[in-house]
Structure 1
Amino acid sequence: MNEKLILHLKKIFGGNRVLTSRTDRMTYSYDASFATQLDPKEPEVVVIPQSTEEVSACVKLANEYKIPLYPRGAGTGQTGGAVPIKGGIVIDLSKMNRIVEIDHQNMQVIVEPGVVQADLNQALKEYNLRFPPDPGSAKMCTVGGMVSNNSSGLRAVKYGVTRTYVLGLEVVLPTGEVIMTGGEKSKALKSVSGYDLAHLMIGSEGTLGIVTKLRLKILPLPVTRGIVLASFKKLEDAGGAVNATFRSGIQPSAIEIMDVNCMKAANMMKPDLNLPDDNEALLIFEVDGSKDEVTAQVHRLTEVVNEYSVFVKFSDEPLECQTLWEARQIVGAAVGLLNPGGFRVYGGEDICVPISRLPEVLRSIQNIAESYGIICGIYGHVGDGNLHTGPVIKLNNKVEVVNVQKMIDDIHNLAIEMEGTTTAEHGVGLVRAEYMEKEHGPALELMRAIKKTMDPNNILNPGKMALPN
């Protein structure tokens, strides 16, 4: 550990916001990804900024010492994206968590990156407004992390992903310089002035800059929602129902899928759900809008889905809708019950494929899991082709540990072969870097050139996204 560096950091942050103990450093050595559970990487030191000025000073110091700097939010990532694989400094932004301004008249909000998504929406509720991106980790994940990975979630099929709502960003560049994208003083809801630098930063996973403030577009809360839950004998029938829904002119706010293993897991966790787990797939459709509009859409959707399903249940009553949603909300945790004493592996968990190929891909994932003897649930945002896999293994079973990694590799390659992507909302980070060249071809070299131009000393989050090490 460089004592001179530590001394400089303490001058910037004070002694209580510079963490050097082994226990503290271990806390920052992993995230939710299976890869970092198997091989955690400790930083040399952790710092906790409270202002843009402190972040800028830290970046300048990292450049001076040529030491890696790893931005981190809540640590809920599933790709090793914020893990310090080369030691260095972790800069924990979770305490920069102020909601700076709710400008409800101009339909926007200014926040710091450490604001938790659910806390932001709780504050906006007073104004009957919301920040629409809705990841499953909304009660834990930070808005800064959502921008870094361009997160989405359940309702992206109608409302889009995080980038749709970013109007401007305050960013500390790899040199320590601070810029504001989207106009330094702008309160406009759209602009085509200059290069779209905000969108260069969105999804860059902390490799091109550190976001210290965000100006975000917000929308009115829907008046009400309705739910249609349908069970299908075959995966192919579920795929047909999704395509028929879009052809009918209905625009659901969400379409979620659960396979038979997920239905069994949800029933195990909450038996009163009583899901029909003798079929291959369950779809949960949500529509939103005015009361009359939702009632009409629910009835129309039921008619469309009935042609493909063996069981349909629907409601436009808020409390009953919440009950119908519960199965999907618990499934991420419930899949662990499929293998008692097992460990839910996060890997190969975020592929996205064309909607037309969903039945084929779902069947292929099942076959891959069976070929390796791995118990696995499959669920996800079927409305935009985004699938999450939940393999469950025993960590003390070396064969399963090896086989699940082979399974993850097969799933990633399957996604590319099916004209899809290895990640739709969780990011590339460390665990999907090896697929970048296969997925992007020569475009990857341009990404590397941009990184080298903006970060010549390779300070920010090195070793990620198949960028220079």
Structure 2
Amino acid sequence: MSHIDELVKIAGKDSICTEQAELMCYAYDSSLDSQLNKYMPDAVFTPRSAEAIPPVLKYCNEHKIPVVPRGAGTGQCGGSVASGGGLVIDVSALNRVIEVDTDNLQVIIEPGVVHADLNQQLAPLGFSFPPDPGSTKMATIGGMISYNASGMRAMKYGTTREYVLGLEVVLADGRIITTGGMNCHSLKTASGYELTKLFVGSEGTLGIITKARLKIMPLPEKKGIAVAAFKELGDAGKAVVEVFRNKIVPSAIEILDKSAIKAATMYKPSIKLPDNAAAVLFFEVDGPPPGVAYQAQKVAEVCKPIAMEVNWTDDPAQVKSLWEARSVVGAASGRVRPGATRVYIGEDICVPITNVGAALEGIQAIGKKYNTIIVTYGHVADGNFHSAPVIDLESQEEIERVKKVGDEIHEMALKLNGTVTGEHGVGIVRAKYMEREHGPALDVMRTIKHALDPNNILNPGKMGL
């Protein structure tokens, strides 16, 4: 990139990095695609204040330099890598919690605030920011907004989109706008186009978020959990439907298939789960203590005729112990095959609840077809699965096979009236499915993209735009 000297003049020498060793750290996210391709940027800009971003973006726009916004880089779809070179803008240093206003149920933060850090600050006040990605200790709020992240409790509490009240955004030409009202601190508005939600989930293709006003919620008084084991994958899907039919809305319903059960118990032998089950469901309920006990017991009653084993508890220590089995699966997946690695591909499909059983069986069938171990777990309450293929990354033949696995999982999701991504985003790896999933609506997205970023400098090549 021939413009680095000018960018150094604009941003300051200490804010622009061109050292190859450091740039390598920005060539990846968690996706298999980025591991195989190493998308090196030409330079990285690390602003120390939001005010430093507009002049840099204005210069890049005038000279048509690609710009890729990036937070913690924990994404799994190649969304924050420089697939066409150019400048990465790392906003992780913009990490101030600017205002906490519990009386009005909101906070104002910068995009680099880590999710777990925000909730750690809110917890003593009795509040939380409800979306809860598995990468909570690493993921930044700006990244969560950009990809509309959610997590285990999205069925009851919603995704990130439902909690974003307003944004400060730097547009491609360097202009700064505030969505949701310049000075508005209300929890809702019917004034003008809903620009806030336009930027949520836009994956950095429309602007760079420099500030966010978020809704927060009181923490529930108590939690309980019911754990049900099933002989057949399809029975697990039936149990989820039956729970909702009985007018129970758990705060989370998580699933572990047989391989995920094995992974969890190998990772931590003290975890006790039935090794002869095809799947285990974890139903979390929350609220006032009497209601929690009632809901947990009711879930157990509903599942009992379908399940091979059901237990429930509202004892905090037991709840924590049981929930641990779900929390370790992501890290434990690679244990099911010594010397192999869990890779992120085809890992985020979402299907209608009534198609949960078919999706689980389909994932297993695809694994058998390509002789690939797939550990499956996820947020079955809203039909969102995380499939974890485990392969030998030194084997080119296995890499080629797992690419076919990922493609068939995505195709299956579309055939089951679902989506190729429930919460991880499109980025590079799922761009090719956008036309099939959205049809003519994709052209409308491209029109919006062109209106706000006519030179296509913001995260080009992402989302099929």
TM-score class, shorter-chain normalisation, is over 0.9
Give secondary structure in 1 for the equivalent of 2:95.
coil
Matched with 1:409 is 407
Which of 21, 29, 38 is the matching residue for 1:31? 29
Give secondary structure in 1 for the equivalent of 2:254.
strand
Cα distance in 2 for partners of 1:396, 1:150 equals: 34
For 1:146, give the aligned amino acid.
Answer: M
Matched with 1:422 is 420
2:456 corresponds to 1:449: no
For 2:144, give the aligned amino acid.
Answer: M
Which of 298, 301, 324 is the matching residue for 1:300? 298
Which of 244, 248, 255 is the matching residue for 2:246? 248
Which of 151, 156, 162 is the matching residue for 1:158? 156
Matched with 2:370 is 372
Cα distance in 1 for partners of 2:395, 2:124 equals: 51
Deviations 1:361-408 (CA, angstroms, capped at 9, x unpaired): 111110111110101111110000001100000012222111000010
2:229 corresponds to 1:231: yes
Cα distance in 2 for partners of 1:8, 1:104 equals: 44
Aligned identity (percent) is 54
Matched with 2:16 is 18
Matched with 1:197 is 195
Cα distance in 1 for partners of 2:345, 2:51 equals: 36
Deviations 1:188-229 (CA, angstroms, capped at 9, x unpaired): 000010000001100000000100000000000000100111
| Contact 2:225–2:285 (8 Å) recurs in 1 | yes
Write out aligned runs for 1:310-389 (5 A). Answer: 310-389=308-387
Q: TM-score, normalised by structure 1?
A: 0.98
Cα distance in 1 for partners of 2:48, 2:162 equals: 27
2:116 corresponds to 1:108: no
Alpha-carbon shift at residue 9 of structure 1 (Å)? 2.2
Deviations 1:416-446 (CA, angstroms, capped at 9, x unpaired): 0110000010000000000000111111111
For 1:442, give the aligned amino acid.
Answer: P
| Contact 2:11–2:56 (8 Å) recurs in 1 | no
For 1:18, give the aligned amino acid.
Answer: I
Which of 450, 453, 461 is the matching residue for 1:463? 461
Cα distance in 2 for partners of 1:126, 1:364 equals: 44
For 2:177, give the aligned amino acid.
Answer: I
For 2:197, give the aligned amino acid.
Answer: H
Deviations 1:333-374 (CA, angstroms, capped at 9, x unpaired): 111011111111101000000110111111111011111010
For 1:229, give the aligned amino acid.
Answer: V
Which of 37, 42, 45 is the matching residue for 1:44? 42
Which of 132, 138, 152 is the matching residue for 1:140? 138
For 1:230, give the aligned amino acid.
Answer: A
Give secondary structure in 2 for the equivalent of 1:56.
helix
Matched with 1:131 is 129
| Contact 2:93–2:112 (8 Å) recurs in 1 | yes
Alpha-carbon shift at residue 125 of structure 1 (Å)? 1.1
Give secondary structure in 2 for the equivalent of 1:391.
strand
RMSD over aligned Cα atoms: 0.8
Cα distance in 2 for partners of 1:301, 1:289 equals: 15
Cα distance in 1 for partners of 2:53, 2:421 equals: 29
Write out aligned runs for 1:46-195 (5 A). Answer: 46-195=44-193
Q: Which runs of 5+ in 1 are unaligned?
A: none
Cα distance in 1 for partners of 2:333, 2:84 equals: 33
Cα distance in 2 for partners of 1:412, 1:443 equals: 19
Deviations 1:225-269 (CA, angstroms, capped at 9, x unpaired): 001111001111111110110011111000001100000111111
Cα distance in 2 for partners of 1:13, 1:437 equals: 38
Give secondary structure in 1 for the equivalent of 2:165.
strand
Deviations 1:16-56 (CA, angstroms, capped at 9, x unpaired): 22110000111101100000000011111001012222111
Matched with 1:212 is 210
* Worse-superposed segment, 281-290 or 301-310: 301-310
For 1:412, give the aligned amino acid.
Answer: H
Cα distance in 1 for partners of 2:132, 2:305 equals: 30
Cα distance in 1 for partners of 2:21, 2:394 equals: 25
Q: TM-score, normalised by structure 2?
A: 0.99
Alpha-carbon shift at residue 6 of structure 1 (Å)? 2.1
Which of 253, 264, 276 is the matching residue for 1:266? 264
* Worse-superposed segment, 272-281 or 325-334: 272-281
Cα distance in 2 for partners of 1:162, 1:43 equals: 29
Give secondary structure in 2 for the equivalent of 1:126.
helix
Cα distance in 2 for partners of 1:168, 1:226 equals: 34
Cα distance in 2 for partners of 1:359, 1:441 equals: 27
Cα distance in 2 for partners of 1:339, 1:13 equals: 48
Deviations 1:85-123 (CA, angstroms, capped at 9, x unpaired): 111000000000000000111110000000000000011
Give secondary structure in 1 for the equivalent of 2:355.
helix
Deviations 1:146-196 (CA, angstroms, capped at 9, x unpaired): 000000000001000000000000000111100000000001000010000
For 2:59, give the aligned amino acid.
Answer: L
Give secondary structure in 1 for the equivalent of 2:229.
strand
Cα distance in 2 for partners of 1:126, 1:257 equals: 31
Cα distance in 1 for partners of 2:310, 2:430 equals: 38
Cα distance in 1 for partners of 2:126, 2:190 equals: 29
For 2:142, give the aligned amino acid.
Answer: G
